[in-house]
Structure 1
Amino acid sequence: MRCSSSGRPPSDRRPREPGEFGDDWSEPLGQEDRKKIAAYFKNMQALASKLGFVRLRVGGRDFTVDLNDKRSKYGVTFEAPRGSLMTAVEYEVFDDLLIGNFMKTTLHGMDSLYPWFTPVVAKYADNGRAYSKVEVVKYFAEYLRRQPRNFLLHQLENQASDCFRTMVPKDAKFYGAAKRVYFALKGLPPPLDA
């Protein structure tokens, strides 16, 4: 057996079948699964103010959670294996699916999960335990109470960034340059797509 420089055997990096980890891409949702998923997303009131639906494609079948008829052209479809999806829903860690980069995502009427989906689900609900509109307001009020200057600057930065994205198409000549300047001002390395 070969060992690494630390004296431990090298890690096994062979590709593994998803089934070894409880994921079978052909396994459909059960009735109880659908109830849990619907309750999970409908519990997030702020999500309905942004999206009309969240669709889950599991085992080749679609299940749609309708959130707001008035926003029916805005939604997202996630295709994921039942095991990982239900673990994320049951433990309220949906961000783990987004970070994992194996779930297929289709956006409807929007060009990004942010600010439509990710902050509402991952930050406010799953991490912040803020589900109702009142709880989300309290969530932000707590940040404002703790760090008023930083909170206000962050909100201003987000509003300016959202405004820029709305007004300037990504294929504009100076979009990449503006993105590089923004990252430089923040002291961050430029993103690969800038």
Structure 2
Amino acid sequence: MHLALYTFNNCQNQDIDILWLRDPFPHLFTGVDFQVTCDHSNGNTSDPGNVVNGGFKFVQANHRTVKFYKYWYELRWTFCGKNEQDVFNIIKHDGFVTEELGLTMRFLDTVYFRGFCQLHREMDKICIMHANCCLGLHNKINGLRQSLKDWKDYLSATDRRNMTWPSPDRCRGSMSNISLIV
């Protein structure tokens, strides 16, 4: 198996902004080629209408995914100026991907794979926390530090029943599309 890191538009920036709080693997699907987190999830993991975020992906190594990554990478010229996440949000509806390649996809529910775009209140289900929908490295670091502190408080609490996930203060104002699910 070979691992290749593709970058779009000659951008060499890498983003490391995810906290792993619980084992996410029990919440992944078996027999699926490509699984990806979402900025906004409608709860239907098969619906390509979910807004994808490439912060966490689980990909089976097979001929379909290899062809898909090549196709995805080649489209950087067609969608010049867009990043890989934007391109994916366009091509996930493409008949070539689903019909010709036969690629199976799942869009991971933000109940377990959360980000700052769509926070859920329950702390007892989260596996990963992604500092998406947060502009600026300083804001992301502060948001993740706050999330880690909240997580530690949750773990040390004797009564967790009424504990809820707060919104990251620094990130709340950095983007206008952050929503909080109650």
Same fold at TM > 0.5: no
More helix by share: 1
**Larger RCO of the pair (alpha carbons < 8 Å, separation 6+):** 2
Higher strand share: 2
Q: TM-score normalized by structure 2?
A: 0.30
Larger Rg over CA atoms: 1
